[in-house]
Chains A and B, each alone.
Chain A
């Protein structure tokens, strides 16, 4: 990095909207820059006469839709240091690689603008294409200070669901005695079948007819409406999502149901609302009828427990007034957008309600008119547009007032800003970095302010929340000792995710050496009734038959976990995990905090939730596991699978995964697979449902692996098994830095650029100097320029607020 001006102009290229004013940026063209690079470093092997691997770059010209695929491939190979091959002496400088990457991605953006655009480099999976050493190495030269483009950011589907749930359900307040139990503001947990739903009037149901299945069928609810990618890794960048027409239609339909419920409570006939569910008297017309599973089968408390709001006031008696309409609009707007409406906004919606009432009458008109607020832009997107304020010399404007408050609030919470934060905005005390520091400290210190966004980061970073979604092949499940009951197995996997959630929260409460602790702790959150199998050793399992029942001839006594050879972990502190409020399928919230055998497990990468999340229907997925370690811990990346590759392992039943993976060791495959396979194969010490094992197909299981070219030479070298691998990784400074990079991405909602280098370094220092405090890390990120400043178009003058 000997040329500061070079860095400076590189910054301009990083993101179009971040282009610097006044930077002296040399125009880099194909002729002046890219072609000489190719000639110097690539043509030895890839000109028209050599064409190694069938690839010739000699005919490459300026970037166009026709050659975009080849250029994209060049970008990945060069950015990741794959090409020129590592054994070639003539290697470009890291900054030259960076330069070419910027030139290519910028060129692809332009060339493909009319063909669906080029966004690949902005995707979280490509963030590691920016060399780690450039970000954490010595920074020379002038940097344009960091900022994030002004933008709108669609809210997370869970946040949206929580907003809607707040309108219809009264959730329990935080209980300091049982901090793991679900409280108001927590995310909506899935049930044991993996379904996420909110229900109308759940808090008010006191009885029903029939069993719990009938109860579940009788109550009405809805699932998340907005969607995110169902994929590994960070899933909610600002650039990734909009709200499509189909989603908007569903929101609008749900809005009317919600409003009717807000106004009138649960649908039901008068006899269903009684103090004592046993004293319910159904009219004669129901005599002899089976009403199980119908809404008529439910009994409600007459006490209107749902949140009573101005929407209830609006419709509780005939004769709506303008004042009541105004109050309902004001209330609903703030409940859905988290800020009060401006006068103009309020006027618009009041008029819509009035007009709808004129068309349809009071009841239906009010409902329809108010439903439009659910589709307001800010009920679906968080805006960070800095529409007023004074740009600094780099065309950056700091977020302020509501935008700032909502950004800070949204970094932790799915609920609206609480009264202190709200008041701070109204008093004009949400404008400066100090204001942010004050509010962040207050939010972090208050455990009753639930912080689902923080837990969500760990879910997306570790990818441990996918275990229940991996649908196992029945025979493969049985072979792995998972039994015949796929449903029971799936339930156990969703429960395993809840346990890992809780363990992470417990470690976050301690807030010391968070990453290292997560990677190496011997503690597990454990369900003593259902988890014994999954912490067992495969070879120790026995298969005793059920014994006849001494009294009942038709009944049998199932063998105990001990009789089945399960490993029973020691008793421990009682803890609770989050389960849905719906009783049926909600699962068990009781767990213990205990320890697993040190020789078998170490940290959450060895817990069933993580292990199974990285398997497929038939077996372990050593490649995914290795890829995870390479990307999330080592900060490396693997280029997309080339189009010419048939990425299949041979189907050879009765052979080990390691044996089948021999095909990836062929020269052509190995250049990528050496980054993944040796990091994933040490986890072969567990079978594909997470059981510890010492043998496979009668032979001792081979758990060897290797850390190759990690970027931290101190940890490179062979490893004996997953525990050895994890121990080494947990000690690496680089691993800690890569963790910080991921936290940056998650909280900024975008990939880091070289402009962010200082912020990343500071965040890492904050984490390290505080003894590994996640709170210190988040505070550092959320008070950084990248979080606080938005880039606007050059030369915008001061614009005052309303």
Chain B
């Protein structure tokens, strides 16, 4: 394809804008780019683990596509009532090829076969779409919510997102670490001096590590490379954030007790969401992936009064289940919070939410032990107007979750006939080509 895509165009703009105003890309740039209408400027993926049972989101008796107006949402998702006109509930996509029982892991956002310990086979949709959106300082932020012990003992984990084959992206789960990483440069005086001295040391470590990698055997060089790249990423990010501290000040959440002394895991879940939202509102990122349960079969929500935790949660049927009503409603309150906060941010002629789409689903289709024949989604927001909203769609064609991801790319101005699916696989798994028409306005 020889056409100039939006990305190339925006890259060019970015370069000249950067040259004009200084060495770093200012977040304002991302906002300026929103003058173009008709495509999302930011995308949020929210994956709750243990499956998304359609009966918890689709009113009983609703079997055919229809408008949501006049329809009452089931109890687990009723916090979404006030934003019902922004929803598009999609039922009947499938992910049979992703091996989703327990979790498809990278396959959930990759649309390929996943599983515990199986490396990513390709880039996942959240990463691919982040590449298509306007450049930002931190192109893609992933946060993961889990039990307190798990978040403390494994503050980073990669199970859902990948930048390419065998290239996992790590979710941040300790809000203290993430806060310092993103907002550490905001401080002044001694703290700032420290932050800068540390940046200097990190830069030296990166150099030393680079030198130490030179003589390595080929296979090791690649593995070791990810170690060196880790520093490069940290240092690059620190440099870029340092350039926009004044701007960031307006968005950094208050650093309160919930960070340092959480009573429940949900205190950290809420703080992680706050940081994610601040990153979106400040424009330092425009792609956010939230893994509630971190793509695995564990997770805890004691803060909601849910005593059961971990794997047990997946073994119980979700419909009419008090525990799952609590968890799903908690998800929904988070979704509404994101909508409201993004609505409060002016952008172009409207608000940030006008140019946002939120993709809510699970990393293992409809339930824990599933073969993936149904994989429900809720889209929220019209993403700059390409998406239909206020709608329930029951898929009539056999279409895989990959088609949902092609649709997102289509909306982002980077159309692909298929996402991560070759023609041979498509022959058995997809009856159509291109985006899901029912979703597009």
A618 adjacent to B201 (CB under 8 Å) = no
The answer to whether residues A244 and B194 also contact, given A116-B122, A152-B216 and a CB cut-off of 8 A, is no
Question: A1-41: contact bitstring with B at CB < 8 Å (1 yes, 0 no)?
Answer: 00000000000000001000000000000000000000000
The answer to whether residues A359 and B224 also contact, given A223-B153, A229-B117, A244-B230 and a CB cut-off of 8 A, is no
B215 adjacent to A359 (CB under 8 Å) = no
Dominant secondary structure at the B interface = helix
Measured between beta carbons, the chain B residues less than 8 angstroms from A646 are 96, 371
The answer to whether residues A647 and B101 also contact, given A116-B121, A151-B217 and a CB cut-off of 8 A, is yes
B216 adjacent to A352 (CB under 8 Å) = no
**Which one of B203-211, B353-361, B389-397 is at the interface?**
B203-211
Question: A248-284: contact bitstring with B at CB < 8 Å (1 yes, 0 no)?
Answer: 1110110000000000000000000000000000000
A471 adjacent to B311 (CB under 8 Å) = yes
A116 adjacent to B120 (CB under 8 Å) = yes
Query: Which one, B170, B204, B224, contacts A152 given CB within 8 A?
Result: B224
Q: Does A291 contact B (CB under 8 A)?
A: no
Query: Which one, A253, A377, A618, contacts B212 given CB within 8 A?
Result: A377
A242 adjacent to B224 (CB under 8 Å) = yes
Q: In the assembly, what is the distance between CA of A380 and CA of B225, in Å?
A: 14
Q: Does A372 contact B (CB under 8 A)?
A: yes
CB distance from A151 to the nearest CB of B (A): 5
A223 adjacent to B152 (CB under 8 Å) = yes
Q: In the assembly, what is the distance between CA of A409 and CA of B47, in Å?
A: 45
CB distance from B232 to the nearest CB of A (A): 8
B201 adjacent to A246 (CB under 8 Å) = no
Measured between beta carbons, the chain B residues less than 8 angstroms from A473 are 311-312, 315
B194 adjacent to A248 (CB under 8 Å) = no
Query: Which one, A112, A241, A617, contacts B315 given CB within 8 A?
Result: A617
Question: From residue 73 to 127 of chain B, which have CB atoms closer than 8 A to chain A?
Answer: 96-97, 99, 101, 113, 116-117, 119-122
Q: Does A87 contact B (CB under 8 A)?
A: no
A249 adjacent to B234 (CB under 8 Å) = yes
Q: In the assembly, what is the distance between CA of A802 and CA of B405, in Å?
A: 57
Measured between beta carbons, the chain A residues less than 8 angstroms from B204 are 352, 372
Query: Which one, A196, A244, A352, contacts B227 given CB within 8 A?
Result: A244
A617 adjacent to B230 (CB under 8 Å) = no
Closest-by-CB residue of A relative to B297 is A471
Measured between beta carbons, the chain A residues less than 8 angstroms from B311 are 471, 473, 617
Measured between beta carbons, the chain A residues less than 8 angstroms from B200 are 355-356, 359
B218 adjacent to A17 (CB under 8 Å) = yes
B-side interface residues, number (CB < 8 Å): 68
Measured between beta carbons, the chain A residues less than 8 angstroms from B194 are 360, 364, 368
The answer to whether residues A245 and B165 also contact, given A359-B193, A385-B215, A617-B315 and a CB cut-off of 8 A, is no
A-side interface residues, number (CB < 8 Å): 64
Q: In the assembly, what is the distance between CA of A239 and CA of B166, in Å?
A: 13
A651 adjacent to B369 (CB under 8 Å) = yes
Measured between beta carbons, the chain B residues less than 8 angstroms from A245 are 170, 229-231, 233-234
CB distance from B226 to the nearest CB of A (A): 5
Q: In the assembly, what is the distance between CA of A243 and CA of B234, in Å?
A: 14
Closest-by-CB residue of B relative to A364 is B194
A250 adjacent to B177 (CB under 8 Å) = yes
Q: Does A173 contact B (CB under 8 A)?
A: no
Measured between beta carbons, the chain B residues less than 8 angstroms from A197 are 153
Measured between beta carbons, the chain A residues less than 8 angstroms from B217 are 17, 149-151, 385
Question: From residue 284 to 325 of chain B, which have CB atoms closer than 8 A to chain A?
Answer: 298, 308-312, 315
CB distance from B400 to the nearest CB of A (A): 13
Q: Does A371 contact B (CB under 8 A)?
A: yes
Measured between beta carbons, the chain A residues less than 8 angstroms from B205 are 372, 375
CB distance from A726 to the nearest CB of B (A): 28
Q: Does A195 contact B (CB under 8 A)?
A: yes
CB distance from B105 to the nearest CB of A (A): 12
Q: In the assembly, what is the distance between CA of A239 and CA of B99, in Å?
A: 26
Query: Which one, B101, B113, B193, contacts A643 given CB within 8 A?
Result: B113
Question: From residue 605 to 662 of chain A, which have CB atoms closer than 8 A to chain B?
Answer: 617-618, 641, 643, 646-648, 651
Q: Does B70 contact A (CB under 8 A)?
A: no
Q: Does B28 contact A (CB under 8 A)?
A: no
Q: In the assembly, what is the distance between CA of A655 and CA of B202, in Å?
A: 60
Measured between beta carbons, the chain B residues less than 8 angstroms from A375 are 205, 209
B226 adjacent to A242 (CB under 8 Å) = yes
Q: Does A177 contact B (CB under 8 A)?
A: no
Q: Does B329 contact A (CB under 8 A)?
A: no
The answer to whether residues A643 and B224 also contact, given A195-B149, A245-B231, A471-B312 and a CB cut-off of 8 A, is no
The 8 A-B residue pairs whose C-beta atoms are closest, nearest first, are: A116-B165, A245-B230, A246-B156, A116-B166, A471-B311, A223-B153, A646-B371, A471-B310
Interface residues of B (CB under 8 A from A): 96-97, 99, 101, 113, 116-117, 119-122, 149, 152-156, 158, 164-167, 170, 172, 177, 181, 193-194, 196-198, 200-202, 204-205, 208-209, 212-213, 215-220, 222-227, 229-231, 233-234, 298, 308-312, 315, 369, 371, 422, 424
For the complex with contacts A117-B165, A348-B208, 9 further pairs of A-B residues with Cβ separation under 8 Å are: A17-B217, A116-B121, A151-B220, A152-B220, A223-B154, A244-B230, A248-B227, A359-B193, A368-B201
Interface residues of A (CB under 8 A from B): 17, 66, 112, 115-117, 149-152, 193, 195-197, 223-224, 227, 229-231, 239, 241-250, 252-253, 348, 352, 355-356, 359-360, 364-365, 368-369, 371-372, 375-377, 380-381, 385, 387, 471-474, 617-618, 641, 643, 646-648, 651
**14 A–B contacts from the bound complex (CB under 8 Å):** A116-B166, A116-B167, A197-B153, A245-B231, A248-B230, A250-B155, A368-B194, A369-B201, A372-B205, A377-B209, A377-B213, A473-B311, A617-B312, A643-B99
